[in-house]
């Protein structure tokens, strides 16, 4: 070993560098260190955000509800309008293709072979049956259920009436002509009832449903199936269909006196008096019982009884009933004359009844009388 060879001195470890500003003993001076973030939001801000979210959700929900309700209301209103239009279409067809056609055929019945007349009326019957089927197939909103019930009643009255008339037509050509005319006239009452049900039930129920939903501008189709109340008279029916049974009329009256006298008028159980105000209960089809007598020396034919209701703010009512024959010698006759509609309610009206003068009648002072009447429910 050399003298100069010696062990290397031990390596000296370096001390960690003291931070700037640090003092011996571990104390420091200067800015303190900030505390570490916790990662959470301020509670007040969190509540505000939640309130905003809830408000936005509520607003969306309200808008959704209003939108759904608006769609439902629009759908309901459209269904009510559609029902009214569909009813109007069916009733228009009933007016034009059933009523108009039927009475054109019946009015010309005396000039038509009975077999042909029956076939033609049966074609009208098919159309009337189709009207009933169309009505049954309607999409009926809940608010229109009452109107629908009475619409079916109206159209069924008409279809059944046409059916029974067609069945009775062949009998007009035989010994049962008078009975057949009576039955056909009875079916005319069914047509009159259909008019009353339609005007007093169907139309008001439809109008009320539309008003309940604030729907305006939706007109109702009017319907008068029976064109003339004379069709209620069997003698008139027989004359229209066969040209027979109306009695004989002469251009020159037979010798002797002619004419009738009005004896009294009653509505229900109330006998009308000419010198007072008569209070009478009204009905959908008010009927006047007219009593008169043939006060001449001759039988009379085609005697016409006229009834008028006037003096109110409404439209005057004028109807008539024809009697085939009256017998000479003071024989009394009572004839029922239906008004065909409800008279004005709660206000005084003039009810005039007249036995129309017949050929050769000289004294007509006792043929006519006017009564003041107040109809009430």
Question: How does pLDDT run along the chain (377 residues), one tens digit per residue?
Answer: 444 454 555 555 555 555 555 555 544 444 455 555 454 567 777 777 777 777 777 777 777 766 666 666 678 788 899 999 999 999 999 999 999 999 999 987 766 778 888 899 999 999 999 999 999 999 999 889 999 999 999 999 999 999 999 999 888 776 677 788 889 988 999 999 999 999 999 999 999 999 988 888 888 889 999 998 889 888 888 878 876 654 434 346 788 899 999 999 999 899 999 999 999 988 878 899 999 999 999 988 888 899 999 987 778 888 988 888 899 988 889 999 998 888 889 999 999 999 999 888 888 999 999 999 999 98
Report the predicted TM-score, pTM, of the whole model to 2 decimal places. 0.51
The answer as to whether 47 is a domain residue is no
Residue 280: which of 371, 208, 190, 193 has the closest Cα?
A: 371
b/e map 335-357, b = 16+ CB within 10 Å:
bebbbbbbbbeeeebebbbbbbb
Q: Last residue of some domain: 211, 242, 273? A: 242
Closest CA to 340 of 264, 254, 230: 230
User: Does 372 lie in the same domain as 237?
Assistant: no
Percentage helix, strand, coil for the chain under 3-state DSSP, each rounded to 5:
45, 20, 35
Q: Which residue has the tokens 């209620």?
A: 232
Ordered DSSP codes for 235-279: HHHHHHHHS-SS----SSPPSS---EEEEEEEETTEEP-TTSEEE
User: Residue 354's beta-bridge partner residues?
Assistant: 306, 368
> Quick one: 238 and 284 in the same domain?
no
Q: Are residues 226 and 309 in the same domain?
A: no
The C-alpha atoms of residue 149 and residue 167 are separated, in whole angstroms, by: 27
CA dihedral 75, 77, 78, 83 (to 10 degrees): 120
Q: What is the pLDDT of residue 244?
A: 60
| CB-CB contact of 350 with 372 (8 Å) | yes
Residue ranges making up the domain that contains 353: 260-376
In a domain, residue 252? The reply is: no
Helix (H, G, I), strand (E, B) or coil at 325: strand
Whether residue 314 is contained in a domain is answered as yes
Residue 179 falls within a domain, yes or no? yes
Cα–Cα nearest to 230, from 162, 324, 154:
324
Q: Are residues 223 and 316 in the same domain?
A: no
Q: Is 6 inside a domain boundary?
A: no
Shared-domain flag, residues 202 and 264? no
Q: Tell me, what's the pLDDT at 55?
A: 75
Quick count: other Cβ atoms within 10 Å of Cβ 326? 25
In a domain, 17, yes or no: no
Query: How many CB atoms within 10 Å of residue 321?
Result: 21
Q: Are residues 146 and 112 in the same domain?
A: yes
Query: Where among 197, 214, 242 does a domain terminate?
Result: 242
User: 307 in a domain, yes or no?
Assistant: yes
Please indicate, yes or no, whether residues 307 and 361 belong to a single structural domain of this protein: yes
Check residue 9 and give its pLDDT.
52
Cβ 183 vs Cβ 231: under 8 Å: no
Q: Are the CB atoms for 231 and 237 separated by under 8 Å?
A: yes
Does residue 160 sit in helix, strand or coil? Answer: helix
What total number of domains does the chain contain?
2
Do both 126 and 185 map to the same domain? yes
Shared domain for 225 and 357, answered yes or no, is: no
Whether 232 maps to a domain, the answer reads: yes
Q: Are residues 204 and 107 in the same domain?
A: yes
Same domain, 231 and 86: yes
* Beta partners for residue 301, in sequence order: 325
Q: Give the Cβ contact number of residue 73 at 10 Å.
A: 12
Beta-sheet pairing, 368-376 with 277-281 = parallel
Whichever domain contains 279, its CATH number is 2.60.40.10
Chain position carrying tokens 């010309």: 108
Burial 158-170 (b: 16+ CB within 10 A, else e): bbbbbbbbbbbbe
Rounded CA separation 162/128 (Å): 8
Residue 323 CA to residue 306 CA, distance in Å, equals: 11
Same domain, 87 and 232: yes
């Amino acid at each position: 070993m050399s003298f100069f060879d010696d062990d290397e001195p031990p390596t000296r470890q370096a001390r960690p560098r003291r931070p700037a500003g640090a003092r011996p003993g571990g104390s420091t001076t200067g800015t303190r260190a900030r505390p570490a973030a916790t990662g959470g939001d301020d509670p007040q801000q969190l509540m505000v955000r939640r309130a905003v979210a809830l408000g936005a959700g509520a607003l969306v929900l309200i808008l959704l509800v209003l939108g759904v309700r608006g769609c439902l209301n629009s759908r309901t209103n459209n269904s009510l309008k559609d029902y009214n239009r569909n009813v109007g279409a069916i009733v228009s067809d009933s007016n034009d293709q059933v009523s108009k056609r039927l009475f054109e055929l019946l009015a010309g019945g005396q000039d038509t072979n009975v077999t042909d007349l029956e076939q033609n009326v049966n074609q009208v019957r098919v159309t009337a049956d189709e009207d009933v089927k169309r009505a049954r197939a309607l999409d009926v909103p809940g608010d229109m259920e009452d109107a629908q019930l009475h619409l079916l009643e109206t159209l069924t009255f008409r279809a059944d009436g046409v059916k029974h008339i067609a069945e009775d037509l062949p009998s007009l050509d035989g010994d049962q002509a008078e009975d057949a005319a009576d039955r056909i006239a009875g079916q005319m009452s069914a047509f009159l009832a259909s008019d009353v049900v339609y005007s007093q039930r169907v139309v008001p129920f439809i109008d009320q449903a539309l008003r309940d939903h604030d729907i305006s501008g939706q007109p109702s189709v009017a319907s008068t199936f029976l064109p003339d109340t004379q069709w209620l008279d069997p003698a008139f029916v027989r004359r229209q269909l066969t040209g027979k049974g109306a009695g004989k009329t002469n251009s020159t009256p037979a010798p002797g006196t002619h004419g009738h006298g009005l004896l009294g008028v009653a509505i229900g159980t109330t006998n009308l008096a000419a010198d007072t105000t008569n209070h009478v209960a009204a009905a959908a089809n008010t009927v006047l019982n007219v009593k008169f007598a043939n006060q001449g020396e001759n039988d009379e034919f085609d005697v016409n009884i006229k009834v008028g209701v006037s003096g109110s703010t409404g439209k005057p009512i004028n109807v008539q009933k024809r009697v085939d024959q009256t017998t000479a010698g003071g024989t009394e006759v009572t004839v029922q004359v239906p008004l065909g509609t409800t008279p004005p309610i709660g206000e005084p009206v003039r009810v005039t009844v007249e036995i129309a003068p017949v050929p050769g009648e000289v004294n007509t002072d006792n043929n006519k009388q006017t009564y003041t009447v107040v109809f009430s429910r």
